[in-house]
Structure 1
Amino acid sequence: MPSHSPERTLTQLDVTRLSRRLQNNKSSLLIDWLDVATVVEATEVPADLITMNTLFTVEDLPSGETKTLRLCYPEDADPAQGSISVLSPVGASLLGLNVGDTAVWHSPQGKEHMAVVKQVLFQPEASGDYAL
Protein backbone atom coordinates (compact mmCIF):
# COMPACT_ATOMS: atom_id res chain seq x y z
CA MET A 1 0.00 0.00 0.00
CA PRO A 2 1.31 3.50 -0.75
CA SER A 3 2.65 5.42 2.23
CA HIS A 4 0.82 8.40 3.76
CA SER A 5 -2.47 6.98 2.55
CA PRO A 6 -5.79 7.22 4.36
CA GLU A 7 -8.26 4.44 3.74
CA ARG A 8 -10.09 4.87 0.42
CA THR A 9 -13.62 4.09 -0.66
CA LEU A 10 -14.41 3.72 -4.37
CA THR A 11 -17.59 2.98 -6.23
CA GLN A 12 -17.85 -0.29 -8.13
CA LEU A 13 -18.46 1.69 -11.34
CA ASP A 14 -15.32 3.81 -10.83
CA VAL A 15 -13.23 0.68 -10.16
CA THR A 16 -14.56 -1.03 -13.30
CA ARG A 17 -13.98 1.98 -15.55
CA LEU A 18 -10.52 2.74 -14.15
CA SER A 19 -9.41 -0.90 -14.23
CA ARG A 20 -10.19 -1.00 -17.95
CA ARG A 21 -8.16 2.16 -18.56
CA LEU A 22 -5.20 0.82 -16.59
CA GLN A 23 -4.94 -2.63 -18.19
CA ASN A 24 -1.75 -1.68 -20.06
CA ASN A 25 -0.35 0.73 -17.46
CA LYS A 26 1.28 -1.37 -14.76
CA SER A 27 3.17 1.52 -13.17
CA SER A 28 0.28 3.74 -12.14
CA LEU A 29 -0.14 4.64 -8.46
CA LEU A 30 -3.85 4.29 -9.10
CA ILE A 31 -3.43 0.52 -9.47
CA ASP A 32 -2.37 0.40 -5.81
CA TRP A 33 -5.49 2.32 -4.73
CA LEU A 34 -7.77 0.01 -6.74
CA ASP A 35 -6.23 -3.04 -5.08
CA VAL A 36 -6.67 -1.89 -1.47
CA ALA A 37 -9.77 0.32 -1.52
CA THR A 38 -13.11 -0.51 0.02
CA VAL A 39 -15.50 -0.91 -2.92
CA VAL A 40 -19.19 -0.01 -2.52
CA GLU A 41 -22.19 0.45 -4.74
CA ALA A 42 -22.76 4.00 -5.98
CA THR A 43 -25.95 4.27 -3.93
CA GLU A 44 -23.92 3.65 -0.73
CA VAL A 45 -21.31 6.39 -1.22
CA PRO A 46 -21.11 9.06 1.49
CA ALA A 47 -21.76 12.58 0.16
CA ASP A 48 -18.35 13.86 1.34
CA LEU A 49 -16.34 11.34 -0.73
CA ILE A 50 -14.36 12.22 -3.87
CA THR A 51 -15.54 10.02 -6.74
CA MET A 52 -15.09 10.54 -10.46
CA ASN A 53 -16.45 13.92 -11.64
CA THR A 54 -16.67 15.28 -8.10
CA LEU A 55 -16.15 19.04 -7.66
CA PHE A 56 -14.38 19.86 -4.38
CA THR A 57 -12.04 22.24 -2.59
CA VAL A 58 -8.62 21.48 -1.17
CA GLU A 59 -6.27 23.47 1.01
CA ASP A 60 -2.64 23.25 -0.04
CA LEU A 61 -0.24 22.48 2.78
CA PRO A 62 1.74 24.39 3.95
CA SER A 63 0.74 27.49 1.90
CA GLY A 64 -2.92 27.44 2.97
CA GLU A 65 -4.05 28.29 -0.57
CA THR A 66 -7.52 26.94 -1.36
CA LYS A 67 -8.31 25.54 -4.80
CA THR A 68 -11.48 24.22 -6.38
CA LEU A 69 -10.88 21.08 -8.43
CA ARG A 70 -12.86 18.50 -10.39
CA LEU A 71 -11.59 14.93 -10.67
CA CYS A 72 -12.02 13.72 -14.24
CA TYR A 73 -10.86 11.27 -16.89
CA PRO A 74 -7.75 12.24 -18.91
CA GLU A 75 -9.67 13.35 -21.99
CA ASP A 76 -11.57 15.93 -19.91
CA ALA A 77 -8.54 17.24 -18.00
CA ASP A 78 -7.80 20.96 -18.08
CA PRO A 79 -5.56 21.76 -15.10
CA ALA A 80 -5.72 25.51 -15.78
CA GLN A 81 -9.49 25.29 -15.24
CA GLY A 82 -9.24 22.98 -12.21
CA SER A 83 -10.11 19.73 -14.01
CA ILE A 84 -7.55 17.19 -12.80
CA SER A 85 -7.02 13.81 -14.46
CA VAL A 86 -7.45 10.82 -12.20
CA LEU A 87 -4.36 9.36 -13.89
CA SER A 88 -2.15 12.25 -12.76
CA PRO A 89 -0.27 11.95 -9.45
CA VAL A 90 -2.49 14.58 -7.78
CA GLY A 91 -5.68 13.08 -9.22
CA ALA A 92 -4.81 9.55 -8.14
CA SER A 93 -3.98 10.82 -4.65
CA LEU A 94 -7.44 12.41 -4.28
CA LEU A 95 -9.69 9.62 -5.56
CA GLY A 96 -11.59 7.94 -2.74
CA LEU A 97 -10.77 10.49 -0.03
CA ASN A 98 -13.29 12.08 2.31
CA VAL A 99 -13.53 15.64 3.57
CA GLY A 100 -10.81 16.04 6.20
CA ASP A 101 -8.41 13.53 4.59
CA THR A 102 -4.98 14.61 3.38
CA ALA A 103 -3.79 13.77 -0.13
CA VAL A 104 -0.05 13.24 -0.64
CA TRP A 105 1.62 13.06 -4.05
CA HIS A 106 4.97 13.67 -5.70
CA SER A 107 5.63 15.97 -8.64
CA PRO A 108 7.57 14.61 -11.65
CA GLN A 109 10.63 16.24 -10.05
CA GLY A 110 10.09 14.19 -6.88
CA LYS A 111 8.86 17.00 -4.61
CA GLU A 112 6.24 15.93 -2.08
CA HIS A 113 2.95 17.87 -2.03
CA MET A 114 0.06 17.69 0.42
CA ALA A 115 -3.49 19.04 0.46
CA VAL A 116 -6.44 18.61 2.81
CA VAL A 117 -9.87 17.96 1.30
CA LYS A 118 -12.01 20.81 2.67
CA GLN A 119 -15.42 20.50 1.01
CA VAL A 120 -17.33 18.52 -1.61
CA LEU A 121 -19.31 20.97 -3.73
CA PHE A 122 -20.84 18.44 -6.15
CA GLN A 123 -20.71 14.67 -6.21
CA PRO A 124 -22.61 12.82 -8.97
CA GLU A 125 -23.76 10.00 -6.69
CA ALA A 126 -25.13 12.41 -4.06
CA SER A 127 -27.15 14.05 -6.83
CA GLY A 128 -28.57 10.71 -7.95
CA ASP A 129 -26.40 10.48 -11.08
CA TYR A 130 -24.77 7.07 -10.91
CA ALA A 131 -23.50 6.98 -14.50
CA LEU A 132 -21.16 10.02 -14.70
Structure 2
Amino acid sequence: MNAVSAQPPIFLSSSDLAQIERLLARPEVENLPVAALLADELARATVLPPAQMPADVVTMNSSLVCVETQSGKEHHLTLTYPAQADISAGKVSILTPMGSALLGLSVGQVIDWPGPGGRRLSVQVTQVSYQPETVGKH
Protein backbone atom coordinates (compact mmCIF):
# COMPACT_ATOMS: atom_id res chain seq x y z
CA MET A 1 0.00 0.00 0.00
CA ASN A 2 1.29 3.43 -0.87
CA ALA A 3 1.99 5.31 2.38
CA VAL A 4 0.89 8.65 0.93
CA SER A 5 -2.51 7.36 -0.21
CA ALA A 6 -3.07 5.75 3.20
CA GLN A 7 -2.77 9.05 5.06
CA PRO A 8 -5.99 10.76 6.14
CA PRO A 9 -6.82 14.26 4.89
CA ILE A 10 -5.55 17.02 7.14
CA PHE A 11 -6.35 20.69 7.75
CA LEU A 12 -3.93 23.43 8.68
CA SER A 13 -4.50 27.06 9.60
CA SER A 14 -2.72 29.63 7.47
CA SER A 15 -1.12 31.07 10.62
CA ASP A 16 0.29 27.67 11.69
CA LEU A 17 1.53 27.07 8.15
CA ALA A 18 3.46 30.36 8.10
CA GLN A 19 5.08 29.70 11.50
CA ILE A 20 6.00 26.10 10.66
CA GLU A 21 7.48 27.11 7.31
CA ARG A 22 9.67 29.66 9.13
CA LEU A 23 10.73 26.95 11.58
CA LEU A 24 11.61 24.53 8.77
CA ALA A 25 13.74 27.21 7.05
CA ARG A 26 16.08 27.53 10.06
CA PRO A 27 19.54 26.07 9.34
CA GLU A 28 19.48 23.94 12.51
CA VAL A 29 16.15 22.40 11.49
CA GLU A 30 16.12 22.12 7.69
CA ASN A 31 18.31 18.99 7.53
CA LEU A 32 16.65 17.04 10.34
CA PRO A 33 15.02 13.79 9.12
CA VAL A 34 11.65 14.85 10.53
CA ALA A 35 11.80 18.11 8.55
CA ALA A 36 11.12 16.22 5.32
CA LEU A 37 8.20 14.35 6.92
CA LEU A 38 6.75 17.61 8.19
CA ALA A 39 7.21 19.31 4.82
CA ASP A 40 5.30 16.43 3.19
CA GLU A 41 2.46 16.92 5.70
CA LEU A 42 2.33 20.66 4.94
CA ALA A 43 2.24 19.97 1.20
CA ARG A 44 -0.78 17.66 1.46
CA ALA A 45 -2.78 19.80 3.91
CA THR A 46 -5.87 21.80 3.11
CA VAL A 47 -5.06 25.30 4.37
CA LEU A 48 -7.84 27.36 5.97
CA PRO A 49 -8.00 30.82 7.55
CA PRO A 50 -7.75 30.47 11.35
CA ALA A 51 -11.38 31.59 11.78
CA GLN A 52 -12.55 28.66 9.61
CA MET A 53 -10.64 25.90 11.43
CA PRO A 54 -12.98 23.17 12.70
CA ALA A 55 -12.79 22.78 16.50
CA ASP A 56 -11.98 19.05 16.26
CA VAL A 57 -8.71 19.54 14.31
CA VAL A 58 -5.26 19.35 15.93
CA THR A 59 -3.48 22.68 15.44
CA MET A 60 -0.33 24.03 17.04
CA ASN A 61 -0.79 24.36 20.81
CA SER A 62 -3.85 22.09 20.77
CA SER A 63 -4.45 19.78 23.71
CA LEU A 64 -5.63 16.36 22.60
CA VAL A 65 -6.17 12.77 23.55
CA CYS A 66 -4.97 10.00 21.27
CA VAL A 67 -4.91 6.22 21.61
CA GLU A 68 -2.29 3.80 20.28
CA THR A 69 -4.32 1.45 18.09
CA GLN A 70 -2.14 -1.60 18.82
CA SER A 71 -1.97 -1.33 22.63
CA GLY A 72 -4.98 0.86 23.49
CA LYS A 73 -2.68 3.12 25.53
CA GLU A 74 -4.12 6.63 25.90
CA HIS A 75 -1.96 9.77 25.66
CA HIS A 76 -2.92 13.30 26.75
CA LEU A 77 -0.72 15.63 24.70
CA THR A 78 -0.21 19.23 23.67
CA LEU A 79 1.36 19.87 20.26
CA THR A 80 4.08 22.50 20.68
CA TYR A 81 7.00 24.19 19.02
CA PRO A 82 10.43 22.83 20.03
CA ALA A 83 11.13 25.48 22.69
CA GLN A 84 8.00 24.51 24.64
CA ALA A 85 8.38 20.73 24.25
CA ASP A 86 8.53 18.62 27.42
CA ILE A 87 7.54 15.02 26.84
CA SER A 88 7.33 14.34 30.60
CA ALA A 89 4.56 16.98 30.72
CA GLY A 90 2.87 15.63 27.56
CA LYS A 91 4.13 18.50 25.40
CA VAL A 92 5.24 16.96 22.11
CA SER A 93 7.28 18.94 19.59
CA ILE A 94 6.14 19.43 16.03
CA LEU A 95 9.71 18.36 15.15
CA THR A 96 9.14 14.78 16.33
CA PRO A 97 7.67 12.08 14.09
CA MET A 98 4.61 11.84 16.34
CA GLY A 99 4.15 15.62 16.48
CA SER A 100 4.34 16.02 12.73
CA ALA A 101 1.93 13.09 12.29
CA LEU A 102 -0.69 14.58 14.65
CA LEU A 103 -0.75 18.03 13.03
CA GLY A 104 -3.98 18.64 11.14
CA LEU A 105 -5.77 15.44 12.14
CA SER A 106 -9.44 15.48 13.09
CA VAL A 107 -11.09 13.53 15.90
CA GLY A 108 -11.59 9.94 14.76
CA GLN A 109 -8.73 9.88 12.28
CA VAL A 110 -5.90 7.36 12.55
CA ILE A 111 -2.35 7.92 11.35
CA ASP A 112 0.79 5.79 11.14
CA TRP A 113 4.30 7.11 11.53
CA PRO A 114 7.81 5.64 11.82
CA GLY A 115 8.61 4.67 15.39
CA PRO A 116 11.77 3.56 17.16
CA GLY A 117 13.69 0.77 15.48
CA GLY A 118 11.82 1.21 12.21
CA ARG A 119 8.52 -0.20 13.44
CA ARG A 120 5.31 1.56 12.46
CA LEU A 121 3.17 3.15 15.17
CA SER A 122 -0.48 4.02 14.79
CA VAL A 123 -2.64 6.41 16.82
CA GLN A 124 -6.21 7.62 16.68
CA VAL A 125 -7.17 11.12 17.80
CA THR A 126 -10.12 10.69 20.18
CA GLN A 127 -10.51 14.25 21.51
CA VAL A 128 -9.30 17.81 20.93
CA SER A 129 -9.93 19.40 24.32
CA TYR A 130 -8.36 22.76 23.50
CA GLN A 131 -7.61 24.38 20.18
CA PRO A 132 -6.36 27.99 20.14
CA GLU A 133 -7.80 28.70 16.68
CA THR A 134 -11.34 28.36 18.08
CA VAL A 135 -10.90 30.30 21.33
CA GLY A 136 -13.43 33.08 21.46
CA LYS A 137 -15.65 31.61 18.73
CA HIS A 138 -19.30 31.20 19.55
TM-score calculated relative to the size of structure 2:
0.87
For 1:87, the equivalent position in structure 2 comes to 95
Is the 1:99–1:118 contact (alpha carbons within 8 Å) kept by the matching residues of 2? Answer: yes
CA RMSD for the aligned pairs?
1.6
Residue 115 of structure 1: how far off its partner (Å): 0.6
Give the alignment partner of residue 43 of structure 2, picking from 25, 35, 47.
Answer: 35
For 2:73, the equivalent position in structure 1 comes to 65
Give the alignment partner of residue 9 of structure 1, picking from 8, 11, 26.
Answer: 11
> Residue 63 of structure 1 aligns to a residue in which SS?
coil
Moved over 3 A (4+): none
Measured against aligned partners, the alpha-carbon deviations of 1:71-102 in whole angstroms (never above 9, x if no partner) come to 00011101111100011000000000000001
> Residue 75 of structure 2 aligns to a residue in which SS?
strand
Counterpart Cα distance in 2 of 1:2 and 1:8: 15
Residue 128 of structure 1: how far off its partner (Å): 3.0
Instruction: Pick which of 120-129 and 97-106 moved more.
Output: 120-129
Instruction: Pick which of 55-64 and 105-114 moved more.
Output: 105-114
Gaps of 5+ in 2: none
Identity over aligned pairs, percent:
36
Is the 1:2–1:32 contact (alpha carbons within 8 Å) kept by the matching residues of 2? Answer: no
Equivalent positions of 1:48-127 (< 5 A) are 48-127=56-135
Give, as a single letter, the amino acid of the residue that structure 2 aligns with 1:38.
T
Give, as a single letter, the amino acid of the residue that structure 2 aligns with 1:123.
Q
Residue 8 of structure 1: how far off its partner (Å): 0.9
Residue 2 of structure 1: how far off its partner (Å): 5.1
Counterpart Cα distance in 2 of 1:2 and 1:114: 13
TM-score calculated relative to the size of structure 1:
0.91
